[in-house]
């Protein structure tokens, strides 16, 4: 008796649920239309009556094919429950809207099936006995639903925003050098050298005795979407005044100091870093407009090399991107000619907010164009051109670069080469290459080794790094690394070896 009752209830509820779900998306009729809001208030709209026809097989519906996503549901409604109706012309019109009259007709057909099933099945006393038998379970379900409704109401009452998500990241670095530092200056001006305070005007100055350092960077990102496909980002950031890896050209990857785009003046100050709005323009084009801190590689779809992000030293990401002015106003587009071929273009100005001689939107800026080939297979590549609008003497004037990544699944080989001309003569050519192995000894981990020459005027600074990024969980990663740097100076202490530990918290 009990098994028969459950079968009856399941069959009846299945027929009703399927009818409501499928009919809501499938059965349709022409609905009346109005030209204005006043038409609605002045008359009652009544759809023209249509005599629906009962079908005995889904094959009788001429516009329903076995490839349709709801074919199985329609087949069961016809063959198992016998409560599916179509139009007199034997069509189902599954992609059109449902009128209330048609909804009532479909509901009535399935209710007839339920009544018949119950009428031939057990009596209501059996249903009451089942309710009493499972009273505890039903009470538990009812309590869970009530608690869920209470939690939802509390979240809605206290939510931060209906359109904005708050995301945070904290990076902390412990760096231990094994030798003294070396600071590089040229004619009293720092030229593509380490971010240290000037102590003399000689060509090569040995730094003070090196010691272990601890540095941090904290970020809060406010990401807002109005359409589900756009993003307005406002970022607050605070950091130490970066001083580690003094023998390298760019220092740490996850730090605030940045050639051409530094936004922080002193230690531990909170600054407004990113302010931009990105949005789609049709199906194949997206745009970005920025008011702060967006330049060069912020416009590109990918930097291609696998070390950009996991590496502890900034040299893991192509350093030629960071040689150019910009950072206040920025605007760019990404154009997808195909799914794999994408063109990136952007312009950024550092003096866009200065109404002065030599200031304005089109001075002290840089522009970039990059053509990307991004595939799901082995080969990924990019060709890049970057130019400066009015580069000062000793600064980068233009760059032509290429990047390549061979992705064999968990094993990747990548690198880049950049030819950079310097205003006033000379060059700052650079290149990097190496390997990366993902999911090594754990999902989300990555081991990488890379090395090459960083961009510098009349020098060839060498950097080699081996790192192992450990994904402890989705919120915390831990990355130990060993970094060798030789800044190619003429004096003592041009070489150094660093041991580094980076902890990254995301929340």
pLDDT above 90 coverage of the chain, percent: 39
Least confident of 56-60, 485-489, 499-503: 56-60
For 442, the token pair is: 């754990």
Distance CA 182, CA 192 (A): 13
Average pLDDT rounded to a whole number, residues 258-284: 73
pLDDT at 443 over 80: yes
Residue identified by tokens 């057909």 is 109
Could you tell me the pLDDT band of residue 183, with boundaries at 50, 70 and 90? low
Could you tell me the pLDDT band of residue 84, with boundaries at 50, 70 and 90? confident
pLDDT at 209 over 70: no
Average pLDDT rounded to a whole number, residues 25-29: 38
Least confident of 40-44, 116-120, 242-246, 263-267: 40-44
Distance CA 172, CA 482 (A): 16
Task: Report phi then psi at 17, rounded to 5.
Answer: -65, -45
Homologous superfamily in CATH for domain 164-506: Porin (2.40.160.10)
- How far is residue 296 CA from its own chain's centroid? 18
Least confident of 54-63, 229-238, 480-489: 54-63
Distance CA 383, CA 419 (A): 12
Could you tell me the pLDDT band of residue 446, with boundaries at 50, 70 and 90? very high
Least confident of 119-128, 141-150, 320-329: 119-128
- How far is residue 47 CA from its own chain's centroid? 47
- How far is residue 185 CA from its own chain's centroid? 39
pLDDT confidence of residue 182: 58
Q: Quick: pLDDT tens for 366-404.
A: 999 999 999 988 999 999 999 998 888 888 889 999 999
Structural domain spans, the chain: 2-122, 164-506
pTM summary value = 0.66
pLDDT confidence of residue 181: 64
More confident residue, 375 or 198: 375
Could you tell me the pLDDT band of residue 285, with boundaries at 50, 70 and 90? very high
pLDDT confidence of residue 487: 86
More confident residue, 317 or 112: 317
Helix (H, G, I), strand (E, B) or coil at 321: helix
More confident residue, 194 or 387: 387
pLDDT confidence of residue 208: 52
pLDDT confidence of residue 59: 79
């Amino acid at each position: 008796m009990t098994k028969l009752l459950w079968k009856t209830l399941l069959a009846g509820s299945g027929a009703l649920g399927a009818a409501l779900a499928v009919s809501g998306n499938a059965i349709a009729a022409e609905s009346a239309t109005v030209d204005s809001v006043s038409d609605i208030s002045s008359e009652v709209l009544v759809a023209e009556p249509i005599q629906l026809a009962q079908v005995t097989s889904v094959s009788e519906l001429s516009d329903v094919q076995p490839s349709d996503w709801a074919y199985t549901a329609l087949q069961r409604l016809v063959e198992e429950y016998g409560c599916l109706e179509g139009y007199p012309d034997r069509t189902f019109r599954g992609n059109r809207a449902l009128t209330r009259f048609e909804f009532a007709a479909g509901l009535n057909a399935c209710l007839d099936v339920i009544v018949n099933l119950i009428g031939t099945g057990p009596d209501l006393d059996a249903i009451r006995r089942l309710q009493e038998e499972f009273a505890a379970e039903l009470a538990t379900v009812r309590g869970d639903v009530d608690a869920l409704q209470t939690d939802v109401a509390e979240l809605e009452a206290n939510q931060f925003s209906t359109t904005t998500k708050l995301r945070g990241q904290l990076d902390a670095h412990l760096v231990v050098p094994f030798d003294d530092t070396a600071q590089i200056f040229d004619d009293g001006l720092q030229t593509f050298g380490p971010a240290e305070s000037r102590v003399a005007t000689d060509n090569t100055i040995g730094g003070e005795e090196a010691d272990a350092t601890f540095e941090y960077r904290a970020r809060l990102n406010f990401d807002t979407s109005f359409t589900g496909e756009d993003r307005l980002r406002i970022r607050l950031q605070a950091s130490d005044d970066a001083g580690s890896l003094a023998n390298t050209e760019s220092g740490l990857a996850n730090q605030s100091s940045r050639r051409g785009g530094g936004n922080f003046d002193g230690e531990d100050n909170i600054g407004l870093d990113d302010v931009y709005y990105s949005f789609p323009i049709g199906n194949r084009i997206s745009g970005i407009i920025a008011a702060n801190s967006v330049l060069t590689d912020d416009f590109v779809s990918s930097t291609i090399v696998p070390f950009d992000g996991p590496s502890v030293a900034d040299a893991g990401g192509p350093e030629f991107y960071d040689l150019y002015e910009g950072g206040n106003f920025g605007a760019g587009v990404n154009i997808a000619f195909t799914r794999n071929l994408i063109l990136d273009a952007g312009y950024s100005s550092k003096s866009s907010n200065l109404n002065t001689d030599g200031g304005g939107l089109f001075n002290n800026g840089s522009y970039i164009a990059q053509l990307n080939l991004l595939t799901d297979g082995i080969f990924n590549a990019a060709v890049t051109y970057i130019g400066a609008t009015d580069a000062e003497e000793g600064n980068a004037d233009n760059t032509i670069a290429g990047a390549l990544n061979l992705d064999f699944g968990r094993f990747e080989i990548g690198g880049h080469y950049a030819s950079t001309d310097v205003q006033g003569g000379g060059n700052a050519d650079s290149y990097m290459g190496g390997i990366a192995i993902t999911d090594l000894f754990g999902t989300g981990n990555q081991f990488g080794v890379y090395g090459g020459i960083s961009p510098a005027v009349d020098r060839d600074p060498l950097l080699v790094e081996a790192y192992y990024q450990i994904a402890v969980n989705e919120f915390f990663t831990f990355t130990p690394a060993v970094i060798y740097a030789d800044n190619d100076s003429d004096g003592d202490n041009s070489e150094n070896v660093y041991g580094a530990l980076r902890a990254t918290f995301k929340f």
